Amino acid sequence: MVAFLKWLLLAPVAIVAIMLALANRAPVTVMFDPFGGASELSITAPLFLVLFGAVMTGVLLGGFGSWLRQGRYRKASRDARAEAMRNRAEADRLRAQMASFPALGGPSDRRAA
């Protein structure tokens, strides 16, 4: 069901992207020099490649920014996981220690007397 819903949402996006690429095949010049002096700082490419490149760059930069901002949560998760493992090991050690002790006069000893 999830795969069907994913395709149901992604198919229209893919169709629009293909239509955009087919409709915008004309070459455009993108200049990276804000003053327009050096022509070696420019590229000529079809418009759809420029648009898709800008979108992909935005997605990558946004993902990297999110990854950086979530660093403290990943560290807190690692610390909590390590503490839980230490606590689990200590609990196992204490259970093993308690199992080695003889019973200290439980209720069954009182009935026998």
Question: Can you give the pLDDT at residue 69?
Answer: 96
Question: What is the distance in angstroms between the CA of the first residue and the CA of the last residue of the chain?
Answer: 68
Query: Taking the C-alpha atoms of 52, 53, 55 and 60 in order, what is their torsion angle to the nearest 10 degrees?
Result: 140
Query: Taking the C-alpha atoms of 35, 40, 45 and 48 in order, what is their torsion angle to the nearest 10 degrees?
Result: -40
Percent of the chain with pLDDT over 70: 88
Q: Of 9-18, 39-48, 65-74, which one has max mean pLDDT? A: 65-74
Count of domains for the chain: 1
Q: Is residue 10 part of a domain?
A: no
Q: Is residue 56 part of a domain?
A: yes
Give residue 81's domain range: 15-99
Q: What is the pTM assigned to this prediction?
A: 0.63
pLDDT tens for each residue of 44-94: 999 999 999 999 999 999 999 999 999 999 999 999 999 999 999 999 999
